[in-house]
Every structure is written in structure tokens, then in C-alpha cells.
């Protein structure tokens, strides 16, 4: 992970603009590579601190790709700093870029901390058949075993592959190409940083129109054995637009926390229940004061196979677009 000062994502610019501020123009068909910072763009300074220093053009050059590529530097961010406003800007830029028929696909280089969340946010609104592929790195660019160049080269190949059309937003890491839906970061060290919460990819819901996510407040509340309702009450008193619960097991919380969630639902706050367990999903099967079945009877929605972070993105997107949240979970 890079230590860096957050830089706002640049205003929208199409690939056909003059080659300034990080935009390169290519004649003919090309893959558009958008850089947002992250470990893949980092080098290590004399103190051992990693900072993003490489441009999109430099990343592409290191990759050794044979594809025709256009590049755009959108940001230099640690992905833990990416906001909903940043995602809004990226989503708009990608949508506008795909108006150009010469763009065969899009690659977004991204830090790994929140890559799964950004990937789902883009996937839920991606109507175009051309692929959008996210990639990054576990090692900085000056590491003796850096993985960034190979990840980027293969991600560009995926974006340029006509057989990948119609598959939505994808993530490529360490030779594996995975769908955005159900993705989670599985390791802080292994080169295969990402995995799916289920054995098989889950069906994509029908994409919804792009809408502004920024300004929608949905916190994630972690459950623990014997938790009281204080955390839920504190969150509910801030009048959030929704709440995602990172529950235990298949979607269970303590009776006291369950009662507090029931009161939040009575106040009109949508509640989605996810799980802290990496694999599998939420099933409202258990009774009792905080059991999943009881939460469902109170009006909570199960997150299915989505991680807490992805469940938050799905709920925010549903609220932003006026969509039934259950159709995106």
C-alpha cells in the first residue's frame, strides 16, 4: 500500500482531447489505460516509503504490451483514500470514453485496498459490451519481483479481446481474470490478491443508469459476540441513508444488536446484512433475537454473496438510482 497525499481525480477528458495532462491520442483502435495510483505506480524512496511516481504512460511502457494503447492519468491515490466522488468521476469518464468506437476496452490501474468496491460500482452501471478491466500490484514497481507490469500487460490483453465482450467489469491479477461481483481481497501479500466469495461466478444483475453516489451515507457496522445496541444507536442517530452490518456466520448478531437494528428499520433506515466470513454468503436461517431469520422478519435484506464493502456499494447504488436494493444484492 502506498503512503500518499490524496489528489482529486481530474475533470472529465475524452481520449480525443489534445495530448496534455496525461492524455495520449492514438489513431485507430486502442485500449484506454487509466491510472489512479496505487502500489502498481509506486517507487520506494530513501526512507523506505512507497509513493506513486509513475505515470500511466510509464506503466504501459514497463508492461511491454504489443497492443495500441491510449493513456490517462486520473489520480495518484492510495485506494483507501478513494471517495464516492472519485468513483463518480471515474464512472463518468469511462462512460464518456466509450462513446468513441475506436476504444476497444478500458483498463483501470487501481490500488488493491478498495479495488473490489470500485469494480462493483462500475459493474452495476456498465451497459457497454466492451470490457472494463481493473488491475494493480502487490509489489511496487521497483521491487525485484514486481508483479505490476505482467498484470497490466495481461489486463490490456483481456480488454482488447473481443471474446470478453459482454462480461461486464473484470479484474485481472496474477494470471486470473475474475468478475467484479463477489470479489474480495483475499491476501495482503500473495500475488493472487483476489478471490470470489463463491465457487462459481454469480450472475450479473441488469445494469442500472449511472447516478451520483457521492453524498450517500452508508456505514458498515461490525458485529461481535454479545454486542449491545450502542453502535447501531449511535449510527442511527446520525440519520444515515442505510446501514450495512458485517454480521457473524451466515448473518447473525446478538439479540441486543438485533433489537437495535429493528428500531433502525422502524425509523425507515434500510439495513443490509453481510458476513465477516470470507467465503459463502448470507442465509437468513437462524431464529432468536439476533438470528438472520429474525432480522429478515424485521425487514433487513441479506447481502447474499457480497462482502460488506461490496454490499455497501450495492446499497448506495440502489439508493442513488431509486432501485430496489434486493435486485442489486
Query: How many angstroms separate the CA atoms of 84 and 279, rounded?
Result: 26
Whether 49 and 3 have beta carbons less than 8 Å apart is answered as yes
CA 89, 160, 135, 316 torsion-angle sign: positive
Name the pairing type of β-strands 50-52 and 42-44. Answer: antiparallel
Residue 116 in contact with residue 185, Cβ under 8 Å?
A: yes
Q: What is the pLDDT of residues 182-220, one digit of tens each?
A: 999 989 888 888 999 999 999 999 999 999 999 999 999
- 198 annotated active-site: no
DSSP conformational letter for 141:
T
The reported pLDDT for the residue numbered 77 is 86
Give the percent of the chain with pLDDT over 70: 92
- C-alpha 274/C-alpha 253 separation (Å) is 11
Task: Give the tens place of pLDDT for each residue, 270-329.
Answer: 999 999 999 999 999 999 999 999 999 999 999 999 999 999 999 999 999 999 999 999
pLDDT at 140 (0 to 100): 85
The pLDDT-based confidence of 51 (bands split at 50, 70, 90) is confident
268: left (phi over 0), alpha (psi -120 to 50) or beta: left
Burial of 293 (0-12, 13-18, 19+ CB in 10 A): middle
Q: Which positions ≥6 away from 138 have C-beta within 8 Å? A: 39, 112, 147, 189, 190, 191, 193
Reference 306, options 155, 191, 205; nearest CA is 205
Residues 325, 319 contacting (CB under 8 angstroms): yes
Pair 211, 91: CB distance under 8 Å = no
Domains of the chain: 30-196 (3.40.50.1170), 220-327 (3.40.50.40)
Is residue 325 within 8 Å of 243, Cβ to Cβ? no
Q: Are 155 and 140 in contact (CB under 8 A)?
A: no
How far is 167 from 158, CA to CA, in rounded Å? 11
Q: Which of 36, 39, 65, 118 is catalytic?
A: 39
Question: What is the model's pTM?
Answer: 0.91
Amino acid at each position: 500500500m502506498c503512503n500518499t497525499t490524496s489528489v482529486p481525480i481530474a475533470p472529465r477528458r475524452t481520449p480525443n482531447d489534445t495530448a496534455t495532462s496525461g492524455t495520449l491520442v492514438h489513431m485507430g483502435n486502442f485500449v484506454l489505460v487509466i491510472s489512479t495510483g496505487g502500489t502498481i505506480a509506486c517507487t520506494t524512496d530513501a526512507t523506505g516509503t512507497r509513493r506513486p511516481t509513475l505515470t500511466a504512460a510509464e506503466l504501459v511502457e514497463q508492461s511491454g504490451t504489443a497492443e495500441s494503447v491510449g493513456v490517462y492519468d486520473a489520480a495518484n491515490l492510495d485506494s483507501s483514500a478513494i471517495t464516492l466522488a472519485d468513483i463518480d468521476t471515474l464512472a463518468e469518464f469511462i462512460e464518456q470514453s466509450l462513446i468513441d468506437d475506436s476504444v476497444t476496452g478500458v483498463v483501470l490501474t487501481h490500488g488493491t485496498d478498495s479495488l473490489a468496491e470500485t469494480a462493483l460500482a462500475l459493474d452495476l452501471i456498465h451497459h457497454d459490451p466492451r470490457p472494463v478491466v481493473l488491475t494493480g500490484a502487490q509489489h511496487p514497481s521497483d521491487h525485484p519481483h514486481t508483479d505490476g507490469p505482467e498484470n497490466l500487460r495481461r489486463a490490456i490483453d483481456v480488454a482488447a479481446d473481443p471474446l470478453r465482450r459482454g462480461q461486464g467489469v473484470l479484474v485481472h491479477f496474477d494470471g486470473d481474470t475474475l468478475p467484479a461481483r463477489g470479489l474480495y481481497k483475499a491476501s495482503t501479500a500473495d500475488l493472487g490478491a483476489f478471490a470470489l466469495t463463491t465457487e462459481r461466478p454469480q450472475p450479473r444483475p441488469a445494469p442500472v443508469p449511472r447516478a451520483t453516489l457521492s453524498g450517500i451515507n452508508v456505514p458498515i457496522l461490525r458485529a461481535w459476540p454479545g454486542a449491545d445496541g450502542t453502535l447501531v444507536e449511535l449510527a442511527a442517530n446520525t440519520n444515515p441513508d442505510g446501514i450495512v452490518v458485517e454480521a457473524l456466520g451466515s448473518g447473525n448478531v446478538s439479540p441486543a444488536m438485533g433489537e437495535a437494528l429493528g428500531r433502525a428499520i422502524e425509523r425507515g433506515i434500510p439495513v443490509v446484512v453481510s458476513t465477516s466470513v470470507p467465503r459463502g454468503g448470507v442465509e437468513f436461517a437462524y431464529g432468536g433475537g439476533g438470528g438472520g431469520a429474525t432480522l429478515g422478519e424485521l425487514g433487513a435484506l441479506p447481502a447474499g454473496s457480497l462482502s460488506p464493502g461490496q454490499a455497501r456499494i450495492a446499497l448506495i447504488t440502489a439508493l442513488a438510482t431509486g432501485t430496489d436494493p434486493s435486485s442489486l444484492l
